[in-house]
Structure 1
Amino acid sequence: MSLQGLLIWSALGLVAGILAKLIMPGRQGMNPITTVLLGIIGSVIGGKVGHLIGWGVAGEFSIKGIATAVGGALILMYAWRLLFGKKG
């Protein structure tokens, strides 16, 4: 992935993090900075996986690209909630 592609996936991750938080039910217990960081990281991971399977091209805004970014962010936020969420 080129630097330009990485920057675009990171920018998309800002939006993906917000969308993922709206989509995920319940309280995640994350502050806005954590949400954005998990969105960016999840977006980059989703973009890499999407690129590997031929579904979503880094550096191109498309429905598939947004879907892989939000999907990656959702998976990462779910893992965060499992590891660090409030118990009880």
Structure 2
Amino acid sequence: MDLTSNTQVSAYETLGVPEIWRLKEGKLEINLLNQGKYVSASTSLSFPSIPAVEGISLFLENSMNMPMSAVRREFRQWVLQQL
């Protein structure tokens, strides 16, 4: 995960990073490496049973209107329900 810069996707492709998560306009985007190029995915290789894109995007949206402690608590509960 790279939070400090807007690294070009081609750099990760060259390195063979199997999965990247990026935040674009407040929404999570997951890309998986497939035959040397990234393709958009709705689930993660690391967390296949969790609908990460829709769930995390929702919690990011909620974090604008709720205290972070409440968002973290709800997020933990949501993850446990997904497992």
TM above 0.5, yes or no, is no
With structure 1 as the length reference, what TM-score do the two structures score? 0.31
- Higher relative CO (Cα under 8 Å, sequence separation at least 6) belongs to 1
Higher relative helix content: 1
With structure 2 as the length reference, what TM-score do the two structures score? 0.32
Higher relative strand content: 2
